[in-house]
Amino acid sequence: MTRIEGRRGNRILRGGLKRVLAVLFVPSVERDGTTPIDQDGWVDAALEMFGRVFGGATAFPKAKGVWRDDERGGALVVDEPVVVHCYTTPTDIEEAQNLATLGAFCRKMGREAKQGEVGLVVGDEYFAIREFGVE
């Protein structure tokens, strides 16, 4: 655990320590690389889910990315994802119901936004969610 102190040993920063970063990439296009999705709607839904389940999140403006779709012969899908960051506690990210909610959201977005993969980072691990199922 990191402790930040002033010159006289007084603790400068107080409050809850949220040290696990979850990052969700919200795509701008469908898997075909050309059909736009309702990105603003998905960003708002992601922010609401992260806020309700983990206490908050921040969406960063569009980035530029590329994803290789191996199931379509290695076609490159150029995208402008919005990156949603959520800091949470180890306890909250490991709670089964919270993980179920996060997983269900990722699968729903993948299915409804017609994706080949939904990218989710938790801590230092990247999860390439490709099985969207029917819920």
Q: Residues 81-124: pLDDT tens digits?
A: 999 999 999 999 999 999 999 999 999 999 999 999 999 999 99
Residue 5's pLDDT band (boundaries 50, 70, 90)? low
- Residue 1: its pLDDT value, please? 47
Assess whether pLDDT exceeds 60 at residue 78: yes
CB 20 within 8 A of CB 89: yes
Q: What global pTM score does this model have?
A: 0.88
Mark residue 50 as left, alpha or beta (left: phi above 0; alpha: psi -120 to 50; beta: remaining). alpha
Give the span between the Cα atoms of 23 and 5, in whole angstroms. 29
| Averaged confidence pLDDT in the chain | 92
- Residue 16: its pLDDT value, please? 73
Q: What fold, for 20-129?
A: Alpha-Beta Plaits (3.30.70)
